[in-house]
Each structure stands twice: as structure tokens, then as C-alpha cells.
Amino acid sequence: MDHFRVGIDGGGTRCRAAVAGAEGRILGRGISGAANILTDPETALVHIRLATEAAFQEAGLPVSGLSSATAVLGLAGNNVADAVSFIAARLPFAKAEIVSDVLIALQGALGDRDGAVASLGTGTVYSIRQQGTVSMLGGHGFKVGDLGSGARLGQGLLQEALLAHDGIRPASPLTETVLAEFGHAPAAIIAFAHTAHPADYGRYAPSVFSAAAVGDPVAVDLVRTAARHIDQTLDAIVARDVRTLCLVGGLAPLYRPWLTERPGIEILDPTADALTGAVALAVQRFASDPSPAQMEAAQ
Amino acid sequence: MDHFRVGIDGGGTRCRAAVAGAEGRILGRGISGAANILTDPETALVHIRLATEAAFQEAGLPVSGLSSATAVLGLAGNNVADAVSFIAARLPFAKAEIVSDVLIALQGALGDRDGAVASLGTGTVYSIRQQGTVSMLGGHGFKVGDLGSGARLGQGLLQEALLAHDGIRPASPLTETVLAEFGHAPAAIIAFAHTAHPADYGRYAPSVFSAAAVGDPVAVDLVRTAARHIDQTLDAIVARDVRTLCLVGGLAPLYRPWLTERPGIEILDPTADALTGAVALAVQRFASDPSPAQMEAAQ
């Protein structure tokens, strides 16, 4: 019997797992809670196991199969060696590789093609594959990067609401809505910002796009500025002779009408999601692996 | 014997005190450490006492005079009732009033005149006095406000350095200097930002102005954008029929050449600093107070 391949897409809010046969067909999927290997590695390990067990159960497979499975895990924080070695030593799989969450998203979106993927969500990050070599661009987090991200859009909206409250910049229906939500009290917005994580700001992003679509001037300015940042990055990518772009993430469809047209550049719809990308990588990386029975015999 | 007046200018990095006679002439000054009543009220109390004792000592007065002194304390966080009542109940003075740090800066800068004061430092905040009524504008902190502040300038510089590193936006001598300081490692900048307080970002502001003065294009853009924010706020203030402006704070002289000329508007040099403003307010507020001897006799 050949062993199973597992793909993991672990993030700050949830962990997804999928189990597949040696040829890559997904047999079952599972989901659990946060898998942040930097802030809470113990919980991440628990959720990686729970999501995988759920995937095996959905596939009608015995969970004892985990220990002979090979896995690729796409995890943010994969560049922090201490966190990775802590996790790697404690995984329930026969063999596993921990890669960037960006890499599994790229694999899912493009399959094996060359091109670039713009991930436009709470954060922003760009990945490029050229002749099989993957590089990354942008990102760098909310505090000094992630331009055009949902978090930055939301932060910009709260800032504009305060400026409108003070009569420094023009109010709009959207700034009025935000101020009303906070009881027209700047102190309430400041208190929110004091503890807000990027995702908390990001929850305002859809309302910025909705308002921009009906011409709210503050929203239009915010979206135009954010789209200009994304366009600058896409320009830098195209200047590297990339001819295929793929936009993924929750804000991708919202940004499409605001971005510059690029004649001669193919805009690809994503082939699959990051979880499917993790499974595909697991199939590739462990293609020539012996079955668990052979491994035991060799020891 | 009349009792002494004490002015306190307490901030997140240090606490200054001055002691004066009933007519307001400063007799001695003292300085101690941080007095942040929100994050560490116990230490704030210690530093308020130490700075005041140092002021009494410089004046050649016995520190026992504290308990009969009347004081005005200009403290950030004066709008947080719990913090203020905790501090107010534990001060070493016969009587004290806790006011905004912005109010003592306004009193120092303008004396008793009407006008507006722009505080341009690590943060930015604006205060306006019209017919004796003080209002405030802007501020709101680093996260959703403080546009044009030193902290925002420094944050913007690190962001531009990362964009230059990724080839998304043009490099300049200044972005090269910053990248070199961080060993050309984006991860080092991200690590800095992870724990940076506004003052940490603000330390980069002077270098942005220096580079802008010699035409560094990234620095010029950063300063122009920041100056535009300040100009928008000054425009809003002038639209309220304010005719006198005073710029204070460490960045005030650096911003002057970048701000719009406003014919008919008087640009006043600050009369005195915030500490002197606190003393002046203490003299005003407790002008009709009885001496400590009279107070005791009345009890």
C-alpha cells in the first residue's frame, strides 16, 4: 500500500488540511483553529493534527494513516528557523516539509506555470515564478509594508473619519457612517486602534470598496491610492519579463476594476486554492518516496 | 509667608518641574524620568515628586515646602478620568490641578493671547484659544492620526526603504543609507518595526529633513506630503478666524520652509516653553488662594 500525501494551509485564524493519494487526487478535507507557529506553536501543532485527522475521517481513512503520510505545510513564519525546527520535530507525519504560505498559494494559483501571484487580502504580498525559481516582493507586514492591503485601507478610513471629524479634510457618507459607529467620539476610535490587529482594520475594507463603487469621494481616494500602490508593484513585476499575472485573496475581485489595463499581459484566474497547492507540492516533493512498508524494511 | 507655585510638564520620556513665587517668577527647575500616568502611574508619581524636589533644591528652598505648594500639572492622558483621580489623590501638594499637556504648551507659547499652536514633534497636535476658550484639533496618536509627525515621517522612510529594496519604488541616497543601517535585510527592518514606539520611528525624522534639504527625491516627497498635511490643518484653523499661529516642538523650525505662506497671518515665535506655561497657569488658578497658614487655621 502506498502512503498518503497531506497538504496543510495554516494561518493565523484557521488551519486547513487535505489528504490525497500518491497521484494527488484529494480524498478528504479538514479544518481546525489557528496555526500560528510564531506566537503559539503548541496550539499550532494541535490544530495541524486535528485538521489532518478531520481530513482522514472525511476520506473514510483510519487516522492511524497520519504516521505514514508525507506532508507539505504552508505556514507563515517559515523563515524563522527556531519556530520551524520546533514544529518539524513534533509533526505526526512520516516526512514533512514546511514551506512558505506564499509558495502554496502560488502553486495553487498557477499550477506549474511561470507567472506572478498578487495576494490581496488583509495583507498584500507578491510571488513570482520564473523558470521554476520563486521570488517574493512586497509584503513586510502592516507596520512598514502591505501597501494596498485591507488592513491599510481600513486604517486609512479611520484616519479620514478623524480628519473629517476635526474639519481638516472633507467628510463623506462613508466617514459619517464610521463616525456614527463610534458614537462620534474620537476617543472611541483611538481606543479601537490601540488594540486593533491588521484583521480588525481589514474588516472595514469591503465597505470602502462598496462606497467607492457609488462614488463616495473619500472612499474613491482611498481605493485609488491603494490601487496605485498595487499597480506600482505589478509594474515592477512586469518589468522583470513576467507575462502572466494572477490576483488572489479576498480583495482581488474588488480591486480588478481599479487597476491599470496591461495589454499583452495575461490575467489568469487562479487554478486552485492554497490548500490544493500544498497537496500538489506534497505529491511532487515526495513522488519518489518509498512506501512506509519499504521505509520500515530499510531501517 | 505665601506658598509656592509649582508647574509640572510630564511626558513619556521625562518630567520637568519648576517652582515659582506667587507672582510667577521661576526660582528653580528640576528634571526626572518618565511621567506617563496611563502606562505607569506609580512611577509617574515618583518622578513628579523627584522633579519638584530638584526644583526646590535648585531654588535653595526646603523640600518640605512641597506640601504647602499649589501646582498645575500638564500631563498627557489628562482626559482619562481613572488615571487622573489615581494621581490626583496621591500628589504631594496642598492643591493641584491636572490639565492637558497641550494646554500648558499653548499657555507657554502664546501667554494670554488668542491664537493657535501647532505642536510638531514625535506626534502632532494643534490647540486654538479664542476669547479664552481652548479647543484642540488633530493629534489622535500615531496609529490613526498624528499626520506630519516625526513618527509618521520615520515610518514612511522605512516603508520607502523597503519599497526601494524590492525595486517597486525608486531608491535614493537616503533609502540606501537606511538599508545599509539594517544590513540590507528587510527582516531587520520588520523586526525593528515590530517593537518600535513612535519615538523610535521619530528618530529618523531629522535625517529626512536633512536629506530633503539637499534634494534627496524620496526625502523631498516624504516632507512635502507631511507638510501638506500640516498645511491642511493650518488652513482649517485659519478658516476659524484665527489670525495668530505659533509653531512649537522639535520639528517646527525644520518644517517652516516647507509650509505655505499665509499673508495676513501672524507667525509668532513661542513666548516660552510648556513648563513656563504650567507655572503661569498655577499662578492664575491659585491666585486668590489663601496661604497654607490660613488654610490650616480654617480647618
The residue range of the domain holding A196 is 113-270
DSSP assignment letter at A252: H
pLDDT single digits (tens) B107-166? 999 999 999 999 999 899 999 999 989 999 998 989 999 999 999 999 999 999 999 999
pLDDT at B120: 94
Give how many domains chain B has, as a whole number: 2
Q: What percent of chain B has pLDDT over 90?
A: 82
What does the buried/exposed string (b/e) look like for A206-235 if buried means 16 or more CB atoms within 10 Å of the residue's CB? ebbbebbeeebebbbbbbeebbebbbbbbe
Q: Which tens digits make up the pLDDT trace of B215-263?
A: 999 999 999 999 999 999 999 999 999 999 999 999 999 999 999 999 9
Give percent of chain B above pLDDT 70. 95
Q: What residues of chain B lie within 8 A of the CB of A232, using their CB?
A: 168-169
The Cα-based distances of B25 to B4, B7, B22, B140 in angstroms read 10, 11, 8, 34
pLDDT at A39: 83
Do B155 and B36 belong together in one domain? Answer: no
Hey, which residues does B117 pair with through a beta bridge? B127, B246
Domain shared by B263 and B119, yes or no: yes
CB contact under 8 A, A236 and B168: yes
Can you tell me the mean pLDDT for B73-88? 87
Query: Strands of A115-120's sheet, edge to edge?
Result: A133-137, A124-130, A115-120, A244-248, A266-268
Q: Torsion angle, CA of B205/B210/B213/B216, rounded to 10 degrees? A: -80
Question: Is there a contact between B197 and B205 (Cβ–Cβ < 8 Å)?
Answer: no
Report the phi/psi class of residue A241: left, alpha or beta, with left for phi > 0 and alpha for psi in -120 to 50.
left
B117 and B10 in a single domain? The answer is: no
For residues A71 and A275, the answer to whether their CB atoms sit within 8 Å is: no
Compute φ and ψ for B16, nearest 5 degrees: -110, 145
- Here the ipTM equals 0.87
* Cα–Cα distance, B267 to A56 (Å, whole number): 73
Q: pLDDT at position B176, please?
A: 98
**A36 and A166, same domain (yes or no):** no
CATH code at position A232: 3.30.420.40
Helix (H, G, I), strand (E, B) or coil at A213: helix
Q: Which residue is closest to A197 within chain B, CA to CA?
A: B143
Q: Say yes or no: A143 and A235 in one domain.
A: yes
Q: Which residue in B238, B229, B225 sits closest to B265, CA to CA?
A: B238
Selecting from A79, A162, A169 the residue whose C-beta is nearest the C-beta of B232 gives: A169
Question: CA of B159, closest CA in chain A: separation in Å?
Answer: 5
A168, A181, A200, best to mutate vs chain B, most B CBs in 10 Å: A168
Shared domain for B122 and B265, answered yes or no, is yes
Is B118 in the same domain as B266?
yes
Are residues B55 and B144 located together in one domain of the fold?
A: no
| For range B196-219, the mean pLDDT | 96
Partner B contacted by A190 (CB < 8 A): yes
pLDDT tens for B163-184 read 999 999 999 999 999 999 999 9
- Nearest-angstrom CA–CA distance, B222 and B217: 9
The pLDDT score that the predictor gives to residue B289 is 61
* Higher pLDDT among residues A140 and B79, named by residue: A140
Taking CB atoms and an 8 Å cutoff, what residues of chain A touch B190? Answer: 140-141, 143-145
Q: Does A175 touch chain B (CB under 8 A)?
A: no
* Closest residue on chain A to B163 (Cα): A138
- Residues A146 and A258 placed together within one structural domain of the fold: yes
**Both B95 and B234 in a single domain?**
no
pLDDT confidence of residue A79? 76
- Per-residue confidence at B293, pLDDT binned at 50, 70, 90? very low
Task: For residue range B18-48, list pLDDT tens digits in order.
Answer: 999 988 999 999 999 989 888 889 999 999 9
A264 shares a domain with A117: yes
Instruction: Identify whether the C-beta of residue B149 lies closer than 8 Å to the C-beta of residue B122.
Output: yes
Interface touch B143/A193, C-beta < 8 Å: yes
Q: Is residue B89 located within the same domain as residue B13? A: yes
Which stretches of chain A score pLDDT less than 70?
1-2, 289-299
